[in-house]
Amino acid sequence: MKTLGIYAVTSALLLLALALDYVALDWRSPDFSGYRTLALVVSVTIALLIVVFAMLLRRRMQPGRKGARALTVVTAVLALVAVGQVLVAEGRFQWMRYTVLNADPDTLERLGQHFIVGYRDRDFVATLGQRRAVAGFFITHHNVRGMDELAIGEEVRWLRSRLAGEPESPVWIATDQEGGVVSRLSPPLPHQPPLGEQLAQRAAGAPIESVSRTYGREQGEGLSSLGVNLNFSPVVDIDHEVQNPADRFTRISTRALSDDPVVVATAAGAYCQGLADFGVRCTLKHFPGIGRVFNDTHVEQAVLSASPEQLRETDWLPFRQLAGSRPAPWIMLSHVMVSQVDPDQPASTSDAVVQDLLREQWGFDGVLITDDLCMRAIHDAPGGVGQAAVDALNAGVDILLISYDPDQYYPAMYALLLAQRDGRLNNERLRQSGRRLSSQDTISGPSEGTVFPPERPEAIPPSR
């Protein structure tokens, strides 16, 4: 029993050491955002305790038990490997951070205009703001927890003040306030039922435009009162009723406005006008439309296999119809691969999707923003966040969104600085993007010239 007990304890320590090695391999993953310092201390402490216990067990073993003694040595080595992996990853990150913060100020500001970032502490904001290394900040529930509207307004004014000066582009304060399950600033803003639910339950004869614009105005008034001028809404993905039991984050069927592309386009256009009435710009998401997609890009890569012909008649209709509206909406690019357009790159970094399709075929000259680059579909891809940042800007994307894990800003900017140094950035695309961004004046006052979609084309299937 004593021998079995020693083997059991040693085996448990070995499994724990292997678990630490697995965690250490992906130490800088966004999964640790928000408690990375605590995780670092705990992981290193546990690893060192494993080494101590393994060596104590080895000393208590009789010399003849070679297998058990070897197992303790292997356990201690694996624990030390985990410590080494964590320290190497942390050291590499700190080097990238140091390089970014000591980069040429003009280069950092020029590349920084392509970033909107989330934050978890004010030091991060002050550090980047002082260097004008971002175009704006993303504000969400953990930034405003326990605050009332007055306090949030003060927070937003402080954020703006970090980027004060004479910028060529406006300062963006962005959030995710769709209504329904995605309502990052509720509370304190009133919680609204999903717009799709209100559209489905509207009184007989009630115009889609009226319901949607009223909804947008209510939301816009609240956001504007806090100082937010960019909302990552509306969702214009079509509800294809795809159900993935493992999908904990995207859940498009609960967020989509309708299963009818024309209803979606009409409602989204009116909703955007409602936001614009209070100086808040809208964002159409998630191009190329992810209502048909089963996998969740938050946790894995995903593919959209529908043909361009199918997508033009359904999923792309709201995007294309509203792309020419005034004030111009932004379009958010998802990280799904459109297999029949570009089977190798996600839409957010694809030259074929961004340049060939949106810029050239559609003639869209508005702002394109990526979905959060912290998602696993990007972070786990070859080259990770850094390569994605380079590919996206070279493709003609204007804004890189890093919202969930602010630390990912540093490897992204580090990769851009290296690409700039080595001549791997497309300077003409950057020049065009700079022009688009510098022309993005914030909206003021009630907007005129509402643009709604035309009558239903024959190609659109009837609502289910």
- Residues taking part in catalysis: 298, 371
Facing residues of 115 across strands? 400
**In angstroms, rounded to a whole number, what is the distance separating the alpha carbons of residues 267 and 318?**
10
Pairing relation of β-strands 400-402 and 115-118? parallel
**In angstroms, rounded to a whole number, what is the distance separating the alpha carbons of residues 173 and 117?**
10
Q: Are 334 and 369 in contact (CB under 8 A)?
A: no
Helix (H) or strand (E) holding 254, with range, is helix 252-255
CB count within 10 Å of CB 86 equals 22
CA dihedral 285, 289, 295, 300 (to 10 degrees): -50
Instruction: Give residue 385's region: left, alpha or beta (phi > 0; psi -120 to 50).
Output: alpha
Alpha-carbon radius of gyration of the chain: 25
**In angstroms, rounded to a whole number, what is the distance separating the alpha carbons of residues 438 and 282?**
17
Strand, helix or coil at 186? Answer: coil
Strand, helix or coil at 134? Answer: coil
Phi, psi angle pair for 356, to nearest 5°: -70, -45
**In angstroms, rounded to a whole number, what is the distance separating the alpha carbons of residues 445 and 432?**
28
**In angstroms, rounded to a whole number, what is the distance separating the alpha carbons of residues 75 and 81?**
10
Q: Which residues contact 429 (CB under 8 A, 6 or more apart)?
A: 393, 394, 395, 396
Q: Which of 375, 325, 321, 327 shows the shortest CA–CA distance to 347? A: 375
**In angstroms, rounded to a whole number, what is the distance separating the alpha carbons of residues 173 and 232?**
11
Helix (H) or strand (E) holding 368, with range, is strand 368-370
| CA 93-99-104 angle, 5° bins | 155
